[in-house]
Structure 1
Amino acid sequence: MLAEERRQQILEWIRKEGKVIAKDLSEKFEMSIDSIRRDLTIMEDQGLLKKTYGGAILNTPSPKVRTLPMPDSNRYGESAAHQDAISKKAASFINHHDTVFIGGAGIQYGMLKHLPTDFPFTVITNSIKIAEDIRKLENITSYLIGGRLRFESSGIIDTLAIEMISKFTIDTCFLTGGGITENGISTATPEGAAFTRAVSKVSRQRICLAPHEKMGHQMFVVSIPIETIDIMITDIEASETTIQHIQRRKVKVTFANKQDTKEV
């Protein structure tokens, strides 16, 4: 089979399934994985797809730099398997007597069902929704950051919230954003970015929850530079190029396996 014919079949497969796995392509075409990945690199250079650590996905247009917040009914609905896997792995970093920050994004809310129940720790949050859920858990001491209530979101991010969070010292903060690149975590509003910077500043360890759909996208304003992140948790569908750029900034990147969440 000619290389162009093989690549056309790969493209047809990815258009049908939304993604391809390098191992599956290797078996289908009876080729080494390295040869398949060379094909995928050529196709990525042609703008036909985006390489991931597991294979490739369709090359989708970048989202707008500013988008309206999702309503809480969508934000806190059922998460995708890869998002749930990232949430679960993030929760596994919480240790005995830790003080941690958990924000109000959907993937942060997804951590709640995976939080440890067999030892005490403290959670600080700026999300009314998260505060309402964790206050019922006996092993968790919880604090809600105060400030102006917003109609569009249960998260509190104004100047009062920034002043209040600056008075704490936090062992680990779990951060995310609408976009994550080698430049940093970015978001749609200057207020949200300023609050994330304030949380990062008072935290000893910073863990970024980075599902593949956020990777490689730059939103309106950068909240913190990527080199301030200690650990990034993503999934195997994340852009290989973006991850390599981030790793060059000395950020430890770890992958969450969605197979680990089947029992939940």
Structure 2
Amino acid sequence: MPARRTITAFLVGGRLRSDTLTATDTWALRTWASLYVDVAFVCPSGCSVRGLSAADPALAAAGRALIAAAGRTVVLAERTRIGRNDPARFAALSDVSLFITDHRPSDAEAAAMEAEGARFRRV
């Protein structure tokens, strides 16, 4: 990234979770609340017609804060995340600009998510 002068990267402090490498807790939430980012890339553990979800409330709070700071939100989700609901919901599908995934969901799941505003790009 140092060669890309048009990109600014921020490192957010907080408790770094060893399982997800996500910065969480008060320090991270305070930092996100003080920033505006053009595009947020989030990787939820679950995304379905019910929205984006995480396995832990601290992860959900971090995701919620990041999305609130963003002008646009892009979800990066591999096939096992689509159609899954974890305990801590942190965003509605209407909060997401684009889903990038390796596999299009089933027709029924895709139709339900697209009715809520989801757009998919398969890579």
Give the superposition deviation at 1:245: 0.9
Match of 2:7 in 1: 121
2:97 maps to what in 1? 230
Q: Deviations over 1:164-206 (max 9, x none)?
A: 1110100000012111101111111111101100010110011
The percent identity for this pair of structures is 23
Aligned to 1:30: none
Of the structure 1 ranges 232-241 and 245-254, higher mean CA displacement relative to structure 2 is found in: 232-241
Residues 185 and 153 of structure 1: CA distance in aligned 2, closer, same or farther (over 3 Å): closer
CA positional deviation for 1:145? 0.8
Letter paired with 2:7: F
Deviating runs (4+, > 3 A) in structure 1? 149-154
Q: Secondary structure at the match of 1:122?
A: coil
Question: Match of 2:30, SS?
Answer: helix
Return closer, same or farther for 1:247/1:213 CA change in 2, 3 Å cut-off. Answer: same
1:158 is displaced (CA, Å) by 0.7
Q: Secondary structure at the match of 2:109?
A: helix
1:179 counterpart = 2:38: no
Higher relative contact order (CA 8 A, sep 6+): 2
Matched, 1:166 2:33: yes
Please tell me the residue identity of whatever aligns with 2:115: R
Q: Which residue of 2 aligns with 1:52?
A: none
Q: How far 1:230 sits from its partner (Å)?
A: 0.9
- 1:124-167: per-residue Cα shift (whole Å, max 9, x none)? xxxxxxxxxxxxxxxxxxx2111234455532111111011110
Question: How much does 1:240 deviate?
Answer: 2.4
Gap runs ≥5 in structure 1: 1-114, 124-142, 257-264
Instruction: Name the counterpart of 2:61.
Output: 194
| CA RMSD between the two structures | 2.1
| Aligned residues of 2:51 and 2:89 also touching (Cα < 8 A) | yes
Please, which runs of 5 or more residues in structure 2 have no aligned partner? Answer: none
- Which range is displaced more, 146-155 or 156-165? 146-155
Match of residue 242, structure 1, among 104, 109, 119: 109
Structure 1 pair 171/211, CA: closer, same or farther in 2 (3 Å)? same
Q: Which has the higher helix share?
A: 1
* 8 Å Cα contact 2:97-2:118 kept in structure 1: yes
**Distance in 2 of aligned mates of 1:155 and 1:241:** 32
Relative to structure 1, the CA distance from residue 151 to residue 163 in structure 2 (aligned partners, 3 Å threshold; closer, same or farther) is: same
TM-score by length of 2: 0.88
1:210 is matched with which residue? Answer: 77
Does residue 1:148 correspond to 2:34, yes or no? Answer: no
Mapped partners of 1:164, 1:144: distance in 2: 10
SS in 2 for 1:121: coil
Structure whose CA Rg is larger: 1
Structure 2 match to 1:29:
none
Rounded Cα–Cα distance in structure 2 between residues aligned with 1:201 and 1:149: 20
More strand by share: 2
